[in-house]
């Protein structure tokens, strides 16, 4: 990357809310390097997901990459948000760090999210690197130079044993670079799971002890009735690790949102960070049935077609304080470490 072409430093959108858990999806049209493999069983669900996000019918087979980014930009600009953190998606790897190409259901290269973030001020780039890759540290350095603000991984879906001592150097470098880790915790049903036991937040103790700021996506909550529940484990760990946070992503789908009342109370409320998990659907029915929002609020925001805004407004109405939506700004890799932007 030619760093000489960047001249101005991004303005710190400190006062504006940030959605720090937004997926990029693509089928590779336009040479983005993305791929998407949806089996016959999951196709209706995926189509529905994209439609409720506001994408045209047939987008999955068409120019999905451009349509998706255009829609996401439109939603970010038309919302109360100052920025969204867009996530790369690493391949599944084995313990030796070899990519298992036939596993996983989608892939989003680091270069693609880095490029999108250079082109659009609304986007902040989160890269995704399997620490067992032989070139993991090189890739980390390359992404740091290119302006990565966060690292995203799904230990249970990508086969990442974060507790593996071989990764100590990788976590230490992330801590030194102040690059936070967003790690999926709890059950998962939209993606194939390869190691169920890696949904347990306890595997994050090693990066935490290396000094990495860790954000447990979904706070360890379960997404299916048969999943083990790790919310209590997560809550307990926040007492021990001051550098552990949890995000509210997918709290507007049934079951995951069950623990909202605990998340709104001290001391957990000070560790909560706003994320939507877009394009995961956002619906207020569960929050209304549980009494987290009243009927009028539910009706009002359920009619909002911009689901980034719908998710933000429903969480505000549930009582998440303003800091929940801006806290991420001081946890992301500091602005002065990122390359200046043109
Ligand atoms: Zn997610």
What distance in angstroms lies between residue 99's CA and the mean position of ligand 1's atoms?
Answer: 21
What distance in angstroms lies between residue 250's CA and the mean position of ligand 1's atoms?
Answer: 8
What distance in angstroms lies between residue 150's CA and the mean position of ligand 1's atoms?
Answer: 14
Strand-pair partners of 19: 84
What distance in angstroms lies between residue 190's CA and the mean position of ligand 1's atoms?
Answer: 9
pLDDT band at 341 (very low <50, low <70, confident <90, very high): low
Please tell me the pTM assigned to this model: 0.92
What distance in angstroms lies between residue 126's CA and the mean position of ligand 1's atoms?
Answer: 12
State what percent of residues in the chain have pLDDT above 90. 74
What distance in angstroms lies between residue 275's CA and the mean position of ligand 1's atoms?
Answer: 9
pLDDT at residue 340, rounded to an integer:
67
What distance in angstroms lies between residue 191's CA and the mean position of ligand 1's atoms?
Answer: 10
Phi, psi of 282 (to 5 degrees): -120, 115
Q: To the nearest whole number, what is the mean pLDDT of the chain?
A: 91
What distance in angstroms lies between residue 22's CA and the mean position of ligand 1's atoms?
Answer: 7
Q: Which two tokens stand for residue 4?
A: 């000489």
CB-based contacts of 50: which residues, under 8 Å, 6+ apart? 59, 60, 68, 279
Q: C-alpha distances in angstroms, 307 versus 51, 80, 193, 277, 322?
A: 11, 12, 26, 11, 19
Q: How many residues does the chain have?
A: 342
117 neighbors 86 (Cβ within 8 angstroms): yes
pLDDT, tens digit (0-9, with 9 covering 90-100), for 243-299: 999 999 999 988 888 999 999 999 999 999 999 999 998 999 999 899 999 999 999
Q: How far is the first Cα of the chain from the last one, in angstroms, to the nearest whole number?
A: 13
Q: Over 60: is that where the pLDDT of 3 sits?
A: no
């Amino acid at each position: 990357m030619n760093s000489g072409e960047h001249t101005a430093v991004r303005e710190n959108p400190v006062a504006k809310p940030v959605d720090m858990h937004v997926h990029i999806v693509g089928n590779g049209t336009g040479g983005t390097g993305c791929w998407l493999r949806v089996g016959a069983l999951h196709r209706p669900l995926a189509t529905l997901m994209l439609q409720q996000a506001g994408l045209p019918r047939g987008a999955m087979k068409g120019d999905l990459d451009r349509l998706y980014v255009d829609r996401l930009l439109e939603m970010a600009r038309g919302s109360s948000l100052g920025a969204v953190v867009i996530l790369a998606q690493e391949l599944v790897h084995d313990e030796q760090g070899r990519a298992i190409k036939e596993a996983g259901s989608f892939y989003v290269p680091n270069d693609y999210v880095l490029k999108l973030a250079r082109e659009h001020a609304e986007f902040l780039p989160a890269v995704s690197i399997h620490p067992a890759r032989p070139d993991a540290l090189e890739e980390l350095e390359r992404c740091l130079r290119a302006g990565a603000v966060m690292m995203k991984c799904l230990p249970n879906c990508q086969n990442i044993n974060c507790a593996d001592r071989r990764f100590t150097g990788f976590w230490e470098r992330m801590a030194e670079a102040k690059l936070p880790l967003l790690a999926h915790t709890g059950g998962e049903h939209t993606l194939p799971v390869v190691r169920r036991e890696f949904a347990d937040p306890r595997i994050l103790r090693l990066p935490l002890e290396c000094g990495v700021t860790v954000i447990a996506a979904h706070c360890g909550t379960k997404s299916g009735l048969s999943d083990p529940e790790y919310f209590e484990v997560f809550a307990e760990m926040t007492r021990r690790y001051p550098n552990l946070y949890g995000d509210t992503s997918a709290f507007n789908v049934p079951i995951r949102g069950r623990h909202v009342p605990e998340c709104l109370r001290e001391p957990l409320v000070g560790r909560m960070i706003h994320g939507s998990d877009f394009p995961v659907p956002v619906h207020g029915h569960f929050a209304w049935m549980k009494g987290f929002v009243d009927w009028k609020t539910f009706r009002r925001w359920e009619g909002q077609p911009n689901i980034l805004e719908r998710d933000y407004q429903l969480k505000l109405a549930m009582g998440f304080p303003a800091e929940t939506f801006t806290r991420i700004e001081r946890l992301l890799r500091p602005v002065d470490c990122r390359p200046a932007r043109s």
